[in-house]
Structure 1
Amino acid sequence: MTRKVAVFGQMGVNFAPLIEEHFAAKYDDWQVVTWPCDDDTDARDAVLAECEAAVMSADYILTPGNFAALMTAPKLKILAQPWVGTDWLDAGFLPEGLIYCNAGGHAAPMAEYVLGTMLEHALELRNMHNDMLRGDWKRAGRNAAPEARHGDLLGKHVGIIGYGEIAQAVAGRAAAFGMNISAIARSKRDKTPAPLDWIGQKAELPKLLATSDYIILTCDLNEETEGMIDAAAFKQMKDTAYIVNVARGEVIDEDALFEALSEKRIAGAALDTWYRYPVNITNAEADPDRGGPYQGSKHDFNSLDNVLMTPHMSAHTFGADRGRYVSIAETLCSYADGSAIKRHVATGSGENIDGFQMP
């Protein structure tokens, strides 16, 4: 009997050959089927009726009705997402016994993004480029004025909140730049892992905030971390501190962040994760609060000159996307072999099967 793994969504269809190469081709009884997230829901339902395993990309889950339909698939035993964050997930709205998995492959590009934003802040490349467009050479190397100089990363202190795969990749790269590195982790460590100077738990967050030149957020969003960086936390930071958020927007209190940046209480921030997202990313939507371009917050971050804004793309590289689907293929291999399932993050309980809300 042929067992089927369904790959849903246009991005999933693009990478389905990797599921075939790294999973289905290794087994005689597995076949890859796809649905590109178009208007043909009859075709979707035909695929759902037969699949034992499924992979859903973001365009699938963000299209109303698709996730609910997936939860009715009669043969579905294992479901995988090609990204890491599961703060939206509740085992209660997964059918009882359904194995839910995430994917790896994101740490390196996200760490590169973090280092890129730190370098941009230190070197002020955008500012100097804009100066040059105006014919302004005041930052030239022969100008002896202190304000002509830019910063550097060597010897600076980077504090990382959360110490999983992403944070470890950031730490390794920061060490290569000669930075001093500390971290806050959820669980206590018996010893300080290289290349950190120290690692603590949440009680030591004030110490990290007070000593860091760069504060990097990589932690999960949960009840403990939501709003963790609040108005009081900003008061503990240096006025030269720079924040990079690749975690979730809600880890930082929205009002406190805007106030700290607009009043220049800290030097600036690079924000890749937000408090709200447009429904359709390819067709511009008007901002619901102020009109004009859609913003990721109720506040007008577009008006600030000390913010670098990106649309939740730090892990969206060719290499990372490929790596995520290879990671899922490896997870499916472990499922097919009956071994410990890689990247297993939840098992459905079915206690709140209608409780799903789009992330």
Structure 2
Amino acid sequence: MPSKRLSVVLTRRLPEVVETRLTELFNVKLRLDDTPMTREELVEAVQTADVLVPTITDRIDAGLIGQAGAQLKLIANYGAGFDNVDVATARTKGILVSNTPGVVTDDTADMVMALMLAVTRRVQDGLGVMQDGSWQGWAPTAFLGARLGGKRLGILGMGRIGQAVARRAAAFGMQIHYHNRRRLRPEAEEAIDATYWDSLDQMLARMDVVSVNCPSTPSTFHLLNARRLQLMKPDAVIVNTSRGEVIDENALVRLLKAEKLGGAGLDVYQQGSHGNPELRAMSNVVMTPQMGSATREGRIEMGEKVIINIKTFADGHRPPDQVVPSML
């Protein structure tokens, strides 16, 4: 790599401490308004930057990468996911892609439990009557929910976050089950006292709560489709903090309206969507605005990962968090 300082373009505002450190190390073009870049702005960025730092909401697709200048050599994604980047096309153009894995594991797992409790304990109903002033006082049969202890939790995707969810759920007395592309090693499975299901269909039919923690890939698009959602128990709860595309959202709405599912806790929605409007009207659905990784500590650590990836690349080495074909 040339000795000149790399030109780095950020597509969004990042924590101030991260922006300051990046500016110390590189020639950085900061995003002054905390709004997504337009397509035209993204085109300009890939035509001028040595390194692009997009976020998971920026679509770095084949068409955009095809317009990139020869100087663009690294896309340092600010996020654990990388489905927003066409990694295969980038690879054909000699552009490396990195991400920020691991740093939001605990934050996301905490959000899973928060959503699980909010749905099963009817927190949204309680908040509603307190906020509108209609609460008439305590009653023995009011706002009856369900306890988590003794319930079966089915985790779809037993990576870092899935295992962190399992440890938290076990502390609540839940029985841990999981379906994963590959079964965990025996010692890892034993450590979280988890039961593996080779058949996703069979697992879904027996769970009280299902937590979606798998990545978004072509093979997981609508993995929970109408047929699979219908396999779930009518009082079962589904929680999704992973990617909205894993669930067929329209099918989920139909089943919730028909009272064939007990409820849902959602932090992610189908791409380009803020969630089906019908979901917002359902008292047994808790929706949050992609808050799974929203802690100050987590967002700063994500930025530190981006810095390490760019600095390592600038020093002529492979970024430690480079996305490789086996991850796709």
TM-score class, shorter: 0.7 to 0.9
Per-residue deviation, residues 128-171 of structure 1 (Å, max 9, x unmatched): 344453232244xxx3x5x6654322222211101122212212
Q: Between the two structures, name the one with larger relative contact order (CA 8 Å, sep ≥ 6).
A: 1
What letter corresponds to residue 98 of structure 2 in structure 1?
C
Q: Which residue of 2 aligns with 1:27?
A: none
Q: Which residue of 2 aligns with 1:75?
A: 71
Corresponding residue pairs, total: 310
Name the SS for the 1:211 alignment partner: coil
Q: How does 1:9-28 map to 2 (within 5 A)?
A: 9-12=11-14, 14=16, 15-19=18-22, 24=25
Q: Does 1:334 align with 2:303?
A: no
Name the SS for the 2:264 alignment partner: strand
Q: Provide the C-alpha distance between the structure 2 equivalents of 1:85 and 1:322, rounded to a whole number of angstroms.
A: 16
Change (3 A) 1:303 1:128: closer
Shift of 1:339: 4.6
Name the SS for the 1:270 alignment partner: strand
Q: Which residue of 2 aligns with 1:97?
A: 94
Name the SS for the 2:50 alignment partner: strand
Q: Does structure 1 conserve the Cα–Cα contact (< 8 Å) formed by 2:19 and 2:30?
A: no
Q: How does 1:11-90 map to 2 (within 5 A)?
A: 11-12=13-14, 14=16, 15-19=18-22, 24=25, 31-36=26-31, 49=48, 51-57=49-55, 61=58, 68=64, 72-90=68-86
Name the SS for the 1:97 alignment partner: coil
Report the structure number with the largest CA radius of gyration.
Answer: 1
Q: Normalising to structure 1: TM-score of the pair?
A: 0.75
Residue segments in structure 2 that go unaligned for 5+ positions in a row:
none
Residue segments in structure 1 that go unaligned for 5+ positions in a row:
25-30, 279-294, 348-359
Q: Does structure 1 conserve the Cα–Cα contact (< 8 Å) formed by 2:65 and 2:89?
A: no
Q: Does structure 2 conserve the Cα–Cα contact (< 8 Å) formed by 1:33 and 1:47?
A: no
Q: Does 1:221 align with 2:216?
A: yes
What letter corresponds to residue 113 of structure 1 in structure 2?
M
Shift of 1:235: 2.8
Q: Does structure 2 conserve the Cα–Cα contact (< 8 Å) formed by 1:301 and 1:307?
A: yes
Q: Does 1:307 align with 2:303?
A: no
Q: Which residue of 2 aligns with 1:189?
A: 184
Per-residue deviation, residues 254-304 of structure 1 (Å, max 9, x unmatched): 3321111001111100122222436xxxxxxxxxxxxxxxx533x622332
The share of aligned pairs that are identical, in percent, is: 27
What letter corresponds to residue 17 of structure 1 in structure 2?
T
Change (3 A) 1:206 1:10: closer
Q: How does 1:192-211 map to 2 (within 5 A)?
A: 192-201=189-198, 204-211=199-206
Q: Which residue of 2 aligns with 1:284?
A: none
Q: Which residue of 2 aligns with 1:8?
A: 10
Q: Which residue of 2 aligns with 1:137?
A: 137
Q: Which residue of 1 aligns with 2:115?
A: 117
Q: Does structure 1 conserve the Cα–Cα contact (< 8 Å) formed by 2:156 and 2:212?
A: yes
Q: Does structure 1 conserve the Cα–Cα contact (< 8 Å) formed by 2:120 and 2:145?
A: yes
Q: Provide the C-alpha distance between the structure 2 equivalents of 1:301 and 1:207, rounded to a whole number of angstroms.
A: 27
